[in-house]
Amino acid sequence: MRWHNILTIMSFGSVEKTVMTFCQQQYVHIMFQMLEACKEYGVTSGEMLLELNFKANEEGIVPAMQDPPELKIAPVKHYVEGSRPAEPDWFYKKENKKIYEKNVKGCIKGIKEQHSRRLPNQVLCLAGHSGGASCYKIQLQEPVNMNEMFSDAALQAFAAYINDDDSGPLSRIFGPDQLVVIRLHLGIHYDVGDPDRNLLIRARQALGRDDPTIYRDEYNPSEVLD
């Protein structure tokens, strides 16, 4: 194995495009897991970090490309403070101490910098890939009314629907077509609500397709990851 420094903190290019595409296509999955993580750790979403691994393992499996995708959401402090219990095994910790220390030091610095600049409507994301590790602040807007999709209001709206079967808060953020797809995704994958046949038909019409995958468009990371 050729040892090298793998950390790259990027603000543009193919990796960022892949992360943005993932967040768009797996938005409902992220929000559901975010609610679970906030409840588990007792902190707000603004103190959380979304970890995605787009690097293939020895079996050729890309964790973030599985169905459902593998992702981790944990407090930012677990990546940068103390024993760093959430630190991913991306930095040759077991193979080369010198390279590990150099890479992890740069990663901690990058996460801290991005976290300090994070806006309330952004989610912090650490992405592993073949060229290294990149930290981004991701922001999504609902396409009809341009409402923020990673805002506290959006997360609370998901909580209202999941916990109380109240879709009112979601309907004030998302347009009718987007709301149908969100409800369908939560019903099929998390047994939330009632994804009946009429809802299934409306979701396909909203997406302009008859593909039974409904929510997730498949994409190949090799097409956008250098």
Residue range 11-67, pLDDT digits in tens: 335 888 899 999 999 999 999 999 999 999 999 999 999 999 999 888 999 999 998
Element (H, E) at 34: helix 27-41
Confidence band, pLDDT 50/70/90 cuts, at residue 6? very low
| The model's pTM | 0.81
188, with CB counted inside 10 A (0-12, 13-18, 19+), is: middle
Dig out the tokens for 224 from the structure.
């956008």
Mean pLDDT along residues 156-184: 93
Under 8 Å between Cβ of 103 and 5? yes
Look at residue 117 in the predicted model and tell me its pLDDT: 96
Higher-pLDDT residue of 178, 213: 178
- For the beta carbon of residue 103, count every other beta carbon within 10 angstroms: 21
60-69, 126-135, 193-202: least confident range:
193-202
The pLDDT confidence band at residue 215, using thresholds 50, 70 and 90, is: very low
Which residue bears the tokens 């991913």? 88
Residue 219's pLDDT is 34
* Average predicted confidence (pLDDT) for the chain: 83
